[in-house]
Amino acid sequence: MTKNIILTTWVFFILVNLQGQNVISLSIFDAMTKEPMPFVNIGIKNKNSGTISNSSGRFSINISSDKINDSLTFSFVGYNSLTIPVKYLLFNKPDSILLHQKMLELTEVIIIANGKWKSKKIGLSRNLPGVFGIVQSDTTSDIVECAQQFDLGDEMTKISNFHIYLKGVNTDTASFRINFYYFDGNKPTERAFEKEIFIRRPVSNGWLEIDFDEYGVWLTGNIVASIEFLPTEKQKEIISLSYGGILICQGTSYNRTSSQGEWHKLDFGTYSIFLTTKKFVTKK
């Protein structure tokens, strides 16, 4: 009789736990160096339920009962993504999460001496007064990411600068990460550039310019460039970002407000985002 009571109590505890919020709190480390990993994107893919790790590699996420059979995906630029069932994390309670660096193949770019660099701006380098896109984070511990699609052509192209027009930011200083994704004709997909581009700087209305020269960004084909807002532990309020843009029926801008969340295409507008590119043109 005593064993039956204990068993019944344990089953009841599990059922009650699954019906409410389930909290997963862990730390994330580099598998080789064992160093903590900040700003790892963590979430349930395309379910808009996510978070990022803090400066110490620690994260905490609430999982509602309707997502108990889903999996959490952990991703960071330059590392292999890791997907783990929610139930495993809740009931097996691992000590930590380890991410493994990718084995990256370097792209060889040959520059012939007899030629010169040719710069070009691609994208939207203007904005209309009164036209802006507001992207607001759902929590103080998750990301806001806005993106623009570009066609770089068939030749390898050096990306030297990223530009976005800010019309309103309710913070004096912000942390951003620039990402590049492949484009499948419908939405951004896998990462196209496996090196973290992280910046933290004062922000104000006007053009925000980010220099890529130190990162060596060479890409080709149909890609998507994005700017990802990264909240910090000191952030006490939800961040609202207003970006300039224009009204257009067939825009090529996208956004999402959660790590691993679903990308949404802007229906009637395009963000004021452009790239400065460089191609080496040989003399004939």
d(CA 60, CA 81): 18
> CA dist 273 to 80, 171, 173, 219, Å?
29, 20, 20, 17
Give the chain's domain count: 2
pTM, to two decimals: 0.85
The token duo for 81 is: 């993504």
Q: Which amino acid is at 74?
A: F
The token duo for 259 is: 């790590």
* Percent of the chain whose predicted confidence (pLDDT) is above 70: 80
| Arithmetic mean of pLDDT, 144-154 | 92
| Domain boundary residue, one of 75, 99, 123 | 99
Residues 146 and 244 in one domain: yes
| Arithmetic mean of pLDDT, 9-35 | 71
pLDDT reading at 82 higher than 90: yes
The verdict on residue 108 lying in a domain is no
Residues 90 and 125 in one domain: no
Residues 94 and 130 in one domain: no
Range(s) of the domain holding residue 90: 2-99
Which of 45-49, 87-91, 148-152, 217-221 is the least confident region?
A: 45-49
Taking only the tens place, the pLDDT of each residue in 116-129 is 888 999 998 887 77
How much is the pLDDT for 18?
43
The verdict on residue 132 lying in a domain is yes
The verdict on residue 105 lying in a domain is no
How much is the pLDDT for 3?
40
Residues 86 and 128 in one domain: no
Contact 148, 265 (CB under 8 A): no
The verdict on residue 106 lying in a domain is no
pLDDT reading at 77 higher than 80: yes
Beta pairing class for 49-52 and 132-136: unpaired
- Please report, for the domain that includes residue 68, its CATH number: 2.60.40.1120
In DSSP terms, which residues pair with 158 in a beta bridge? Answer: 218, 278
Residues 95 and 120 in one domain: no
Report residue 229's pLDDT band, with 50, 70 and 90 as the boundaries: confident
Taking only the tens place, the pLDDT of each residue in 161-205 is 999 998 877 778 888 999 999 999 999 999 999 999 999 989 888
| Arithmetic mean of pLDDT, 35-64 | 93
How much is the pLDDT for 98?
97
User: b/e for 196-231, b at 16 or more Cβ within 10 A?
Assistant: ebeeeeebeeeebeeebeeeebebeeebbbbbbbbb
Residues 44 and 147 in one domain: no
How much is the pLDDT for 8?
38
CA quadruple 44, 271, 177, 277: dihedral sign: positive
| Arithmetic mean of pLDDT, 81-92 | 95
Query: What is the DSSP secondary-structure string of the chain?
Result: -HHHHHHHHHHHHHHHHHHS-EEEEEEEEETTT--B-TT-EEEETTTTEEEE--TTSEEEEEE-GGGTTSEEEEE-TTB--EEEEHHHHHHH--S-EEE-B--PPPPP----SSEEEEEEEEE-----TT-EEEEE-SSTTS-EEEEEEEE--SS-EEEEEEEEEEEEESSSEEEEEEEEEEE-SSSEEEES--S-EEEEEE--SEEEEEE-TTT--EE-SEEEEEEEEE--TT--S--EEEEEEE--TT--EEEESSTT---EE-SS-EE-EEEEEEEEEE--
Report residue 10's pLDDT band, with 50, 70 and 90 as the boundaries: very low
Residues 127 and 92 in one domain: no
Residues 64 and 197 in one domain: no
- Please report, for the domain that includes residue 221, its CATH number: 2.60.120
How much is the pLDDT for 6?
40
pLDDT reading at 25 higher than 80: yes
pLDDT reading at 246 higher than 50: yes
| Domain boundary residue, one of 69, 99, 129 | 99
The verdict on residue 203 lying in a domain is yes
Which of 65-74, 84-93, 141-150, 241-250 is the least confident region?
A: 241-250
Residues 162 and 241 in one domain: yes
| Arithmetic mean of pLDDT, 56-62 | 94
Non-local (6+) Cβ contacts of 247 within 8 A are 128, 131, 268, 269
Which of 41-45, 63-67, 222-226, 249-253 is the least confident region?
A: 249-253
> CA dist 181 to 17, 159, 188, 190, Å?
38, 14, 6, 5
How much is the pLDDT for 270?
87
Residues 196 and 260 in one domain: yes
Residues 87 and 129 in one domain: no
The verdict on residue 169 lying in a domain is yes
Residues 94 and 189 in one domain: no
